[in-house]
Each structure stands twice: as structure tokens, then as C-alpha cells.
Structure 1
């Protein structure tokens, strides 16, 4: 073994990533497969390091990994495409109004609403997660509900009077 694994890795990682990046058109994917190929080489470096072309071995492993990932993702996309209905309706005006009203809430109140109503957490659990008292969470929820009720009532009145949403 003429070259240490660390030296070999340092000398060739960037070049292999550039090659795989060109082939995959995805930098993160290229980095992942090259890293995985080096991990596989490291586990058997006593043998791979003595090959006539250890870089070629690592390059081939990286390309094989990239091709396998591509095939798996292509298969998964085909499967998912067959599972989707022909057309998915977009959100209705009520959902758009709710999303807009939630976006106007202060972040702490919006987080409390999401954790309580969407994640199903109790006020005590939210308090622990946010590092505040239970009464503070109850206050956030009370204020958020009041603001949402007012905001959504205004949206409904505008719709009833023919104003744009």
C-alpha cells in the first residue's frame, strides 16, 4: 500500500464529485455516491489500495451507485404516477382564506395553532416544546382564535357583498 487512504481520498474526492456531478446533474447526489464509494473502499483498503487502478475501482462503484439510485427513483416515480388521480382539485376559497389568515398571525400564535390543532398536542406539551408556561400557550391560542374568527368573518362578509377575496 503505497498511498494512505486519507491522502488518496484528499487527492481524488473533488475530481470524482465533478465527474459524477456532470453525469447526474445533481451535486448532492454526486457527493453522496462518491462518499459511499469511498466508504466501501475504506472498508477494504488493504486490498483496494493495492489494485493497479484503485481510483478506477472507486469510480466504477460510484457510477454503479448513481445508476442504481436513478433506477430506483425512476421506478418509484412511475409507481407514484400510476397512483395519482387524473386531476387533483386545488384548494377552495375557504382554504385560501384560512391560509392567508394564519399567515397574518404572529409566529408564536401560528405555531401554537399548528401544534394544537394539526399535531394534536396539549397546551402543556406545547408549553414544554416552546419553553413557556401553559397559561402563555392558552393565551396564544385564545388570541389566535379571536384573530382568525375576526379575519375569516371579514373574508366571508366581503364574499357575500361581492368584494374580491
Structure 2
């Protein structure tokens, strides 16, 4: 009975956060929901072991991400059809900055997007990202730098881009 209570508490305190992180990593809230649900099911089935880990939330996030990637490989065409169908969907209560960041994240390579989300949104250090993902720390650092540069280009407003293209008259 204690395991069920511990798991319920773990789920209650981490599920929304993990869903938000995985959603940004994979670029699709619907696919993230499926992957996160599967990850929590796997965590529940192994809770006696998972609960002893230093960071069970990182385990769930990693399993969810891997599950999503596996689903992409199995259903590549379905995923693209889903994205086209929902491309113009309006979401209430999201500010323009949030929408711009998510759009920019979707435009950068998946590896860069993953480390950007883990570092800037989850708050993990480079070393923690390495431990969670197995990606070498140097590669994490490189992907963070490249991802930031790419996102900066997508997040710059038209006026900023125009100013960067031509020297100002002094």
C-alpha cells in the first residue's frame, strides 16, 4: 500500500512538469501525452526499483522521450499528417512569446531541441543532461550553442533582422 501512495505522490508532483518538458522536446503535445503515459505506466510497474533512483523524474522523462522517438520511427508519415492537420490550430491562454519559442524549437534539429529544453526549461546542468541522456558533455555544450544561435535567428523580429542586414546611417 505504501508503494501506491508513494507513486501517487510522485505522479501528482511531477506529471505536469514532465509532460511540458517532453512536449517541447518532441514538438507535439499529443505524442508527448502518449509517451509520458507509457513512461509512467512503466515506472509504476517497476516502482519498487525506480523509487530508489536519485531522480525518478529523470528516468520517466528519458523513457518518455525514447518512447516518442520510437513511435516516430514506426509512424513517420502519420506524424507529419497530424502536424499538417493541427498546424494552424489556435490555443487559448498562450502569449506570443510562448508561441514564438515553441515555433522556434520546432525549427531546430531534434538533438538541439532536446538539450535546449533540458537545460533551459527543466533546469539541468550540462553534467546532469549527460547523466540523463548519455550524450557526451562536450556534445551537449555544442548542441546548446548551436541551438541557441538557431533559435535566436528564428526569434529575432523583422526590425532586428533588417538592422543586422544593413549598417545604420550615422
The alignment's TM-score, normalised by the length of structure 2, stands at 0.42
Larger radius of gyration: 1
